[in-house]
Chains A and B, each alone.
Chain A
Amino acid sequence: MSGVAPARGGQGRDDRERAAIRTGGKETMVTLTIDGRVAKVREGATVLDAARAIGVRIPTLCQHEALEPWGGCRLCLVDVTKKEWSGWEKMVVSCMFPAEEGLAVSTASERVVATRKVVLDLLLARCPEAPLVQSLAREYGIERTSYQENPEPTDCVLCGLCTRVCDQIGVSAISTVNRGAGKEVAPPFHEAPPDCIGCLACAEICPTDCIPYETSDLGRTIWGRRFEMVRCPHCGRAHITKEQATFYAGRGGVPESYFLACDACKRKQMAKTFTSLAVAR
């Protein structure tokens, strides 16, 4: 998981940080109800955060805790209302809508379920063979799409997680190209991406595992580009690409040699150091 790790230090904010931005550092709690149950969360948390905190499951595809919410897949739609709205309900994406004091959320009302079903039905028309989409659709009683199936089936749901994680790492090797139905994720000009460092973050974050790659001690291939591996100087395991090592080193001001050691050896080294410290003391 070396690829996703740097993301935490990037722009991805958790609810605590978002709250800090909103409230200028002060931490306030808000209370809302979700399907009739009370949830208490920090201000700045989203409705989705609040639902998860009390164990209410809302399906999501384009949301990832390491990344800014994006609101694209529309799966996490819920109804929200407030006392002063006199019965009027608004459908919003829970991954972006802020948890507010007094908000009443329905995650499984008839309207929400019917709507989510249509989104899944449409996704299944695009990705009839993707196991994740199939199983989500099945949860909503859909075995086969009721619409015309995509003549060129793909497993990519266009959740944008891959391009966003790559952006977040600071590489931006891939992006979405084209508009509308022709939209797809691709490296520039559909050629082996010159900026890619072969970190595999995109492939690892992909919810439908549809980014193919190969990796072994001998080398790694992703997006049509072949990478040489760097061996850990301690155990000899090939765990990182040369480009990754250079890229990380170029960033945090940490010497490249730090990244050359694999995680396991780093831990071992650390343990040794602690032990020797303890002995010395």
Chain B
Amino acid sequence: MGEIAPAAAPLDRTALAELRLRLAENLRARAGEPATGAPRELLVCAGGACISCHSLAVADELESALAASGRAGRVRVVRVGCMGLCEAGPLVVVSPDGVYYQKVDREGARRIVAEHLGAGQVVRELELAWDAPDGRRLAGREVPFFAQQVKIALRNCGVIDPAAIEEYVARDGYLALEKSLFELSADDVIADIKSSGLRGRGGAGFPSGMKWQFVREAPGDEKFVVCNGDEGDPGAFMDRSLLEGDPHSIIEGMAIAGRVTGASRGFVYVRAEYPLAIERLGNALAAARRAGLLGEDILGSGFGFDIEIRIGAGAFVCGEETALLRSIEGKRGTPQPRPPFPAQHGLWGKPTLINNVETWASVAPILLRGPKWFAAIGTGRSKGTKVFALAGAIRNTGLVEVPMGISLRTIVEEIGGGIPNGRSFKAAQSGGPSGGCIPAAAADVAIDYESLQELGSIMGSGGLIILDDRTCMVELARFFLEFLVEESCGKCPPCRIGTRVMLNLLERITKGEAVPADLDTLEALGRHIQHTSLCDLGQTAPNAVLSTLRHFRAEYDAHVLEGRCPAGQCKALLTYTIVAEACSGCALCAKACPSGGITGEIKHLHVIDQELCIHCGACLSVCPTDAVDAV
């Protein structure tokens, strides 16, 4: 299997079918599916996180080592998208062996070529493996991080070279588009999306099939299809990884929607902070145009569709659909009251279908494998899978796609590999800044749109931050609210003024200046802001506060009634003392103390004057022997 010729000329359906036949085995092997006769390939993660750990240099090193050992023509190095376990990057996979190597550097690259390819010996020190509690050694795809996942949206991420349209095609790419052009009627497609139970993955979870139908039925000779790739949640990178690792899956989903709704133009709105996603999507669009999969008369069907990229300037609120559409129109991104909904009155007043990146990537598999298959995954009203960006106090941080209905416990303990540093699991924050906290007590609840909402949180776009027992829930709520206060567009008073008032109250609590009535004010005001704000930013802004008030009330009470921060995080509430046995008398703390509150002679025990201490924590951070105690 040599180089794959790039598709320079338009492809017809026969050519597409041939490509699929020719490359299918090869790609199945890469994805760990049963395959025969696949050539040996080295997959190097070229996702954002691995690139920043120099994975591209690793790929180059692999290529030169291959050349030096005379394997250049026989073993290909493929630069693929994010494999999910960014924590362990740069990742290299030897296919079809299914051996995963982690934290590979140039030296590691040379060893993989010499030992694994040369001597047929797996490089144990670099292999991604896990010793299970029952004594078994699990390696590669068997480790729970991969084994517990179900990949639909991410099916090609980490498997294909996003720059090679042929590889996407070989994974049955554009077959769903062909089906929607030549086999299914528009109503069939909508019926499939509806009965699959797919709901929007961008936040609100609106049934996608219904939205498609609204746009299809909306009167108008011009309609638009939009992909929301704004991904404003700090720390989230689901959509970025998809745009970088499998851009054609989004293009295909949008083209199908264009055919179904009668739109001939699409826009992908990507934030400017994602240059690699913009570049790869741009290349993919160009490749799809060259292959005749975008543009006029696609595959001779008479249907024409094309997509433009629009780059967002970065405000969080620009991810809100009405603000995003205004931004595409070249206006300032300010949310508009709904109704009218974009489906009736969207871009330039025309019916517009807007879906999230992950929603778009889920469309083609539903049409190919059937809505029943998709609907069999998940819970009563939440079907299929959800991609989460797993972060925080967890061993395996990264990108995971799990079936709806999975428990938080499975995510934390198995996929996430548990809480590091001997700490315990306290809560999870889902849904980004607009989301709420789920306490460890609810770890066995089946996660879906409904259960998260009942718990006072939201699915959101899929941020999932794991918190250990050192997290102060009041401070956490303050942190997220502060983000939203700054991102509020300021159009409506509940959000602009109300969230600011709530933030002031939280600041008082973390400083020990609050009175018990403040907690009631917080709660009442939070509910009003939820009901009166113009857009979902304001309507969800109180979630972090209200959910922590609900699940961690005792922690708030400790701050307000006892002036104590149980997690030991709120500096102003801590009492700083120096532990005699540990103090070396270096006097660094005395120098650092801004209030002159520490006295002692060099090489002798130092003492903190509690009257003078302003609780700044400087002594704690400078002490070289950890002699400062803060409780």
Give the B-binding residues of A (Cβ under 8 A). Answer: 71-74, 77, 91, 93, 96-98, 114-115, 118-119, 122-123, 125-126, 146-148, 157-158, 160, 175-176, 178-183
Contact = CB atoms under 8 A, between A and B. Distances in A.
B497 A91 contact: no
B525 A118 contact: yes
Shortest 10 CB-CB contacts between residues of A and residues of B = A183-B490, A71-B337, A180-B488, A122-B497, A118-B528, A181-B500, A147-B501, A72-B491, A122-B493, A96-B337
Contacts of B494: 74, 118-119, 122
Interface in B514-555: 521, 525, 528, 531-534
16 contacts: A71-B492, A93-B337, A93-B534, A118-B525, A118-B532, A122-B494, A122-B497, A123-B497, A158-B496, A160-B491, A179-B315, A179-B486, A180-B500, A181-B497, A183-B490, A183-B496
A74 B490 contact: no
Nearest to B336: A71
Nearest to B486: A180
B496 A74 contact: no
A115 B528 contact: yes
Contacts of B339: 96-98
Given A180-B496, A181-B490, 17 more contacts: A71-B492, A74-B492, A74-B494, A91-B532, A93-B337, A93-B534, A122-B494, A125-B501, A147-B501, A147-B525, A158-B493, A175-B332, A179-B315, A180-B487, A180-B500, A181-B485, A181-B500
A13 to B, nearest CB: 12
B493 A126 contact: yes
Given A118-B532, A180-B485, A180-B486, A72 B525 contact: no
Given A118-B532, A179-B486, A180-B485, A126 B492 contact: no
Contacts of B498: 118, 122
A72 B492 contact: yes
Interface string B471-510: 0000000000000011111111110111111001000000
A157 B501 CA distance: 16
A164 B539 CA distance: 25
A181 B337 CA distance: 20
| Max chain A C-beta neighbours (<10 A), residue from B317, B487, B493, B501 | B493
Most chain B CB neighbours (cut-off 10 Å) among A114, A122, A157: A122
A119 B531 CA distance: 11
A243 to B, nearest CB: 25
Nearest to A175: B332
Given A96-B337, A183-B496, A158 B490 contact: yes
Interface string B187-207: 000000000000000000000
A97 B338 CA distance: 9
Contacts of A73: 492-493
A270 B457 CA distance: 68
B491 A77 contact: no
A184 B332 CA distance: 15
B2 to A, nearest CB: 54
A179 B534 contact: no
Contacts of A93: 337, 534
Nearest to A150: B497
Q: Which of A74, A160, A183 has the most CB of B within 10 A?
A: A74
Interface string B409-451: 0000000000000000000000000000000000000000000
Contacts of A74: 492-494, 532-534
Contact of A115 (B317, B336, B485, B532): B532
Of listed A118, A180, A182, residue having the most chain B CB within 10 A: A180
Most chain A C-beta atoms within 10 Å of own C-beta, residue among B336, B485, B497, B533: B497
Contact of B490 (A71, A125, A146, A179): A179
A260 B332 CA distance: 36
Contacts of B499: 180
Contacts of A175: 332
Interface in B306-351: 315, 317, 332, 336-337, 339
Contacts of A147: 497, 501, 521, 525
Contacts of B533: 74
A222 B84 CA distance: 58
Contact of B504 (A148, A160, A179): A148
Contacts of A91: 531-532
Contacts of B534: 71-72, 74, 93
A90 B487 CA distance: 26
A148 B492 contact: no
Contacts of A146: 521
A126 B496 CA distance: 10
A126 B497 contact: yes
Contacts of B493: 73-74, 119, 122-123, 126, 157-158
Contact of B531 (A115, A176, A182): A115
B174 to A, nearest CB: 39
A97 B488 CA distance: 23
B489 to A, nearest CB: 6
Given A178-B490, A179-B490, A125 B497 contact: yes
A118 B532 CA distance: 9
Nearest to B332: A175
B518 to A, nearest CB: 11
A176 B491 CA distance: 10
A161 to B, nearest CB: 13
A178 B337 CA distance: 20
Given A179-B488, A180-B496, A148 B501 contact: yes
A147 B533 CA distance: 18
Nearest to B489: A179
B530 to A, nearest CB: 11
Nearest to A21: B349
A107 B499 CA distance: 26
Nearest to A124: B497
A243 B411 CA distance: 66
Given A97-B339, A180-B496, A181-B496, A77 B490 contact: no
Nearest to B499: A180
B321 to A, nearest CB: 15
